[in-house]
Amino acid sequence: MKEDTPIIELKGVGEKTRQLFEKAGIKTVGDLLAHFPRDYEIYQEPVSVAEACPGQVCAIRVFITGILSQKKIRNLSILTVSAADQTGAIQLTFFNMPFMKKVLKPGSPYLLRGTVQTRGAAKAMEQPRLFSEEEYAKRSDKLLPVYSLTKGLTNQAVQKAVSKALSLYEFDEEYYPDYMLNAYELISRREAVSGIHFPVNWDMLRSARKRLVFDEFFAFLFFLRKNKEFLKELPNRHVMFETADTVRFLERVPFELTKAQKKVWREIREDLSGPFCMNRLIQGDVGSGKTILAVLALLMCAANGYQGALMAPTEVLAMQHYETIQEYIQRYEAAFRPVLLVGSMTVREKKAAYEKIASGEANLIIGTHALIQEKVIYSSLALVVTDEQHRFGVRHRERLAEKGKEPHILVMSATPIPRTLAIILYGDLNISVVDELPANRLPIKSCVVNTSYRPRAYAFIAKEVERGKQAYVICPMVEEGEGDSGDMENVVSYAEKLKAALPNSVQVACLHGKMRPSEKNRIMEEFAARNIDVLVSTTVIEVGINVPNATVMMVENSERFGLAQLHQLRGRVGRGDSQSYCIFISAKENKETMERLEILNKSNDGFFIASQDLKIRGPGDLFGIRQSGEFAFRAGDIYADASVLKQASEAVDELMNRDPSLSHAEHRALREQMSKDSVNGVDFRSI
Ligand code: ADP
Ligand code: MG
């Protein structure tokens, strides 16, 4: 059984299960094995009711003392029973399990496991799982994998399939040379893959993760190195000169560039007029004003008679840039002839755009990845700017090079990365930092609160809407039943809840990644046009959106997000002159969670937040709360695994010193591995 064997060939996986897996993006055995657990469960010794701490998952042995209530609300049946042991009482609530009334006999003992909650002064457990002593003993003292799921797919089904796949999978021979395995204390890939799914203990889990993370970082940095060599001293084929256009533009915009912006603008001008092709990254916190720098570069490009392209990760963001440019043309007479090119345009619209691009009628092309598809023929592409996208891989470059001469590349990123990491992760680029925010900003007022604060938050949102302002509410999930997301809010149900809680006049709408792009664009446009007051969204909103009239950002299940990501979300407000607010709701109230979120309360500096987050979680934090999507590794987290990242970087350096062409016998397997189209399921060249 190899990487690309379809999972239907696994015994026990039928057509129905296959479809469910496919929905979760898992088609092959390779996909399945790369679907790492998102957490592990430990079935610890049951505790007494008195010891059961609110917020924690634990098992208890209790006697049923009575039925408290049985209700039916719409389609939901709710059964609440009381239970106790010698140390105290606890309420148990079961949803849509009316039969539990017969199963649970008053006076009999039961072993139950679930999350402890508080209901007023009383302790409670919602939907606890019932175990026999024997079943429980079988699970105890093991680390059981918990997978991200799609509706209909159970954790058990995934466990079974993975276990089957592990027993049949033929792993490649070891590809790292011995000196590398020893120097970085790496276990074999086979041990690592089975260890990440079914670790026997914490040590094994740690070693397994280390190898998998190392593999990802190593492949990534290897390609980065290739990229760098390819770019080294590429001559400037589009030498540009500063014209009156940019000077006039800067005189007309209603603000002065900050010192940091001026410095970066100078660096860009020097690149564009210098001897080598530009490969520059602009790094700057949210709201630091990176867009205007891109606009200046594109304007210089247009004024020199060339074409420039501005590429965004989402259609929503591309449309927003297009609007901004239209405004600059009208207000400040910027000499752009822009054209928009996104996937959701009709064939006819696209054709019209292609023609304008090929004829040179358009001198600024704004869009998504559609910009680098084969059908697009440029007449004189000289500059490509990518927004909120760190990587511009070899594949992209090759495609562009085919379209003409090697253009200048400018990459803009808001991911706050400490300098030492930035040098590794952006090894193939020159880095400019915008380390200063425009002076007119009012600091955003933030608070970290628990779910009981919701009614007040809703009242506050209603008040802001009445003042003509707008709000975002972020939930981690799209719809109900996704994953084992019992305690996670989802956009679809939440929007309904919110509509009921807010006055009728408030317009509430949803936005999430499962919607069609054209639908997403429409919603965003309506929001920007103020036809929508409150937008309930997943983190699709996170990247670069600029609606300065929005003053409230409320995040549900804040504990589920990385701090850097929460900081990005907060950056969606506080973009205008009005006071803005950010409400982080946490469904967990334990000390660590609160301390972590409290960092956001104290600081509004992305770099500081990222470094504190790292400090608190500590390197090697196993559950790597997902950071923002910019550096989306499967197992690795650039912050938490910074030390492994450094090791992988060292390993690549050493390899290149010893044997740059990988021609020694000990590097033969590695050369083969690295020449594959994708390495362990990840195609770094197209990132
Ligand atoms: P980001 O760096 O997050 O991409 P933007 O470029 O979207 O930020 O800028 C955020 C807002 O700040 C925009 O409305 C922009 O017009 C404004 N802005 C940019 N530079 C300045 C400045 N020097 N002074 C005041 N406002 C500025
Ligand atoms: Mg931006």
- The alpha carbon dihedral of 44, 45, 46, 47 has a sign of negative
Ligand 1 mean position to 11 CA, how many Å?
A: 56
Atom of ligand 1 nearest to the CA of 548: 14
pLDDT at 397: 63
Higher-pLDDT residue of 194 and 675 is 194
Name the residue among 432, 394, 402, 387 with its Cα closest to residue 278.
432
Amino acid at 172: D
Which residue has a Cα nearest atom 5 of ligand 1?
Answer: 289
CA distance 666 to 595: 48
As a three-state string, the secondary structure of 444-471 is CEEEEEEHHHHHHHHHHHHHHHHCCCEE
Ligand at minimal distance from the CA of 283 is 1
Which residue has a Cα nearest atom 1 of ligand 1?
Answer: 287
- Ligand 1 pocket at CB < 6 A: 255, 257-258, 261, 284, 286-292, 414, 438, 440, 544, 546, 548, 575
pLDDT at 679: 65
Instruction: Provide mean pLDDT across the span 648-663.
Output: 94
pLDDT at 392: 54
Atom of ligand 1 nearest to the CA of 576: 14
Atom of ligand 1 nearest to the CA of 253: 16
**pLDDT per residue as tens digits for the range 465-489:** 999 999 999 999 888 766 555 678 9
Ligand 2 mean position to 294 CA, how many Å?
A: 10
Which long-range contacts (C-beta less than 8 Å, at least 24 apart) are formed by 477-484?
Answer: 477/538, 478/512, 478/513, 478/514, 478/538, 479/151, 479/514, 481/151, 482/149, 482/150, 482/151, 483/148, 483/149, 483/150, 484/146, 484/149, 484/155
CA distance 246 to 506: 42
CA distance 601 to 446: 6
Query: What is this structure's pTM?
Result: 0.72
CA distance 332 to 484: 52
CA dihedral 228, 231, 233, 239 (to 10 degrees): -140
Number of neighbours of residue 320 by Cβ within 10 angstroms: 23
User: How does residue 665 score in pLDDT terms, banded at 50, 70 and 90?
Assistant: very high
CA distance 222 to 676: 13
Number of neighbours of residue 685 by Cβ within 10 angstroms: 19
Is residue 541's pLDDT more than 80?
no
pLDDT at 363: 97
* Integer Rg of the chain from CA: 27
Q: Exposed, middle or buried: residue 174 (CB in 10 Å: 0-12, 13-18, 19+)?
A: middle
Atom of ligand 1 nearest to the CA of 293: 6
CA distance 258 to 144: 52
Q: Beta strands 122-126 and 129-131: pairing type?
A: unpaired
Average pLDDT over all residues of the chain: 87
Ligand 2 mean position to 657 CA, how many Å?
A: 38
Ligand at minimal distance from the CA of 436 is 1
DSSP 61-105: EEEEEEEEEEEEETTEEEEEEEEEETTEEEEEEEES-TTHHHHS-
Is residue 119's pLDDT more than 90?
no
Instruction: Provide mean pLDDT across the span 572-577.
Output: 85
Atom of ligand 1 nearest to the CA of 571: 3
Name the residue among 329, 332, 335 with its Cα closest to residue 250.
332
Ligand 1 mean position to 289 CA, how many Å?
A: 3
The 3-state DSSP class for residue 385 equals strand
Name the residue among 116, 127, 57, 58 with its Cα closest to residue 89.
116
Which residue has a Cα nearest atom 10 of ligand 1?
Answer: 287
DSSP 261-327: HHHHHHHHHHHHHSSB--EEEEEE-TTS--HHHHHHHHHHHHHTT-EEEEE-SSHHHHHHHHHHHHH
Q: Token digits for 522?
A: 């429409």
Instruction: Provide mean pLDDT across the span 556-570.
Output: 87
Ligand at minimal distance from the CA of 257 is 1
Instruction: Provide mean pLDDT across the span 329-346.
Output: 94
Ligand 1 mean position to 258 CA, how many Å?
A: 10
Amino acid at 205: L
Instruction: Provide mean pLDDT across the span 202-228.
Output: 89
**pLDDT per residue as tens digits for the range 577-619:** 889 999 999 988 888 888 888 898 888 888 788 777 766 665 4
CA distance 472 to 551: 8
DSSP E strands in 120-261: the ranges are 122-126, 129-131, 143-146
Atom of ligand 1 nearest to the CA of 575: 11
Ligand 1 mean position to 546 CA, how many Å?
A: 9
Q: Token digits for 413?
A: 């990123």
Q: Which of 123-132, 247-256, 408-417 has the lowest mean pLDDT?
A: 408-417
Please give the helix or strand (H or E) that residue 110 lies within, else none: strand 109-119
Ligand 1 mean position to 209 CA, how many Å?
A: 40
574, 287 in Cβ contact below 8 A?
Answer: yes
Measure CA 560 to chain center.
11
Helix %, strand %, coil % of the chain (to 5)? 40, 20, 40
Please give the helix or strand (H or E) that residue 230 lies within, else none: helix 202-231
Ligand 1 mean position to 551 CA, how many Å?
A: 16
Instruction: Provide mean pLDDT across the span 621-639.
Output: 59
Ligand at minimal distance from the CA of 259 is 1
User: How does residue 401 score in pLDDT terms, banded at 50, 70 and 90?
Assistant: low
Ligand at minimal distance from the CA of 434 is 1
206, 620 in Cβ contact below 8 A?
Answer: yes
pLDDT at 184: 96
Instruction: Provide mean pLDDT across the span 551-575.
Output: 89
At 387, phi and psi to the nearest 5?
-100, 135
Atom of ligand 1 nearest to the CA of 440: 25
CA distance 296 to 247: 9
**pLDDT per residue as tens digits for the range 233-290:** 789 999 999 999 999 999 999 999 999 999 999 999 999 999 999 989 898 888 889 9
pLDDT at 285: 82
pLDDT at 128: 93
User: How does residue 68 score in pLDDT terms, banded at 50, 70 and 90?
Assistant: confident
DSSP 200-220: SSHHHHHHHHHHHHHHHHHHH
At 659, phi and psi to the nearest 5?
-155, 75
Number of alpha carbons in the 13 Å side-chain half-sphere of residue 374: 0
Which residue has a Cα nearest atom 26 of ligand 1?
Answer: 438
Ligand 2 mean position to 205 CA, how many Å?
A: 38
Is residue 404's pLDDT more than 70?
no
Number of alpha carbons in the 13 Å side-chain half-sphere of residue 675: 9
Instruction: Provide mean pLDDT across the span 35-51.
Output: 90
Which residue has a Cα nearest atom 14 of ligand 1?
Answer: 575
Of 286, 321, 441, 546, the residue with max ligand 1 atoms within 8 A of its CB, to mutate for a pocket test, comes to 546
User: How does residue 360 score in pLDDT terms, banded at 50, 70 and 90?
Assistant: very high
Atom of ligand 1 nearest to the CA of 291: 6
Atom of ligand 1 nearest to the CA of 289: 6
Q: Percent of the chain having pLDDT more than 90?
A: 52
Which residue has a Cα nearest atom 19 of ligand 1?
Answer: 289
CA dihedral 205, 206, 208, 214 (to 10 degrees): 150
Whole-number Cα distances in Å, 399 to 195, 393, 403, 407, 422: 39, 10, 7, 11, 26
User: How does residue 657 score in pLDDT terms, banded at 50, 70 and 90?
Assistant: very high
Ligand 1 mean position to 265 CA, how many Å?
A: 14
Atom of ligand 1 nearest to the CA of 292: 6
Which residue has a Cα nearest atom 20 of ligand 1?
Answer: 289
Ligand 1 mean position to 583 CA, how many Å?
A: 23
Of 292, 322, 440, the residue with max ligand 1 atoms within 8 A of its CB, to mutate for a pocket test, comes to 292
Ligand at minimal distance from the CA of 312 is 2
124, 23 in Cβ contact below 8 A?
Answer: no
Residue 125's DSSP bridge partners are 92, 116
pLDDT at 250: 96
User: How does residue 621 score in pLDDT terms, banded at 50, 70 and 90?
Assistant: very low
pLDDT at 619: 45
Ligand 1 mean position to 341 CA, how many Å?
A: 24
User: How does residue 684 score in pLDDT terms, banded at 50, 70 and 90?
Assistant: low
**pLDDT per residue as tens digits for the range 149-208:** 878 888 889 999 999 999 999 888 899 999 999 999 999 999 999 999 999 888 999 999
Please give the helix or strand (H or E) that residue 563 lies within, else none: helix 563-570
pLDDT at 623: 45
CA distance 494 to 556: 10
Ligand 2 mean position to 373 CA, how many Å?
A: 24
Which residue has a Cα nearest atom 25 of ligand 1?
Answer: 438
**pLDDT per residue as tens digits for the range 485-511:** 567 899 999 999 999 999 999 999 999
Of 251, 291, 607, the residue with max ligand 1 atoms within 8 A of its CB, to mutate for a pocket test, comes to 291
User: How does residue 403 score in pLDDT terms, banded at 50, 70 and 90?
Assistant: low
Residue keyed to tokens 């001469």: 405
Atom of ligand 1 nearest to the CA of 255: 24
Ligand 1 mean position to 280 CA, how many Å?
A: 20
